[in-house]
Amino acid sequence: MPAPSRTSIAEIVSAGRDLLESGGPAALTMQKVAQKVGVRAPSLYKHVRDREALLSAVSAATIDDLAECFAGSEESLDSLFRAYRAFAHRWPEGFRLMFSPGAPLDSLERASEPVLAAARDLAGAEALEAARLMTAWATGFIHMELAGAFRLGGDVDHAFEYGLEHLRAGLER
């Protein structure tokens, strides 16, 4: 009666991320995840409470990747937000999942720590407000961009740089 694990939580989460990115949330199915890790669907419940918990785990793994991404970027606000946008382009579904109800808020807070640190250099006592303002702007910008909501009027890259510059300037003062 040994019965060693034929899969692992890490493998399951990784399979979930693949399915999510390639077909959206509807494609992340317990049955497809099971097939990908070489097991039957009921076995997944030995490793994960239910589909919702798996989605949370996928969200947390994505946020951890974002934190790593921040760690590998320069520490200026501009660099951090450019890295944020590049990350969202590489993992659009994961990005959306990060801000869904049920997202792991602790991880999100931890990942945004470098932004807060950079804001402290710029805005001193109002660092928290400044960090929130820029984070809200970037998050909304990317959301709208991913939804295809920027249709009239030119270069989206340029619009992002425009926003970055104006916000930084407005907060320096």
- Chain residues in the site for a copy of itself (CB under 8 A): 24, 99-101, 103, 105, 108-109, 128-129, 132-133, 135-141, 143-144, 146-153, 159, 162-163, 166-167, 169-171
- Residue 99 binds what, of a copy of itself, DNA, none (CB under 5 to 8 Å, by partner type)? a copy of itself
- Of the two residues 10 and 53, which places its CB atom closer to a copy of itself in the complex? 53
Report residue 136 as tokens: 């809200």
CB of 24 to a copy of itself, least distance (A): 8
- Of the two residues 52 and 165, which places its CB atom closer to DNA in the complex? 52
Site for DNA in 120-149 (CB under 7 A): none
Asked if 59 interacts with DNA (CB under 7 A), we say: no
Tell me the number of residues near DNA by CB under 7 A: 23
Q: Which stretch binds DNA (CB under 7 A): 47-55, 83-91, 127-135, 143-151?
A: 47-55
DSSP string over the chain: -----SS-HHHHHHHHHHHHHHH-GGG--HHHHHHHHTS-HHHHTTT-S-HHHHHHHHHHHHHHHHHHHHHTS-SSHHHHHHHHHHHHHHSHHHHHHHTSTT--HHHHHHHTHHHHHHHHHHHGGGHHHHHHHHHHHHHHHHHHHHHT---SSS-HHHHHHHHHHHHHHHHH-
Site residues, DNA (CB under 7 A): 1-7, 28-32, 39-43, 45-47, 50-52
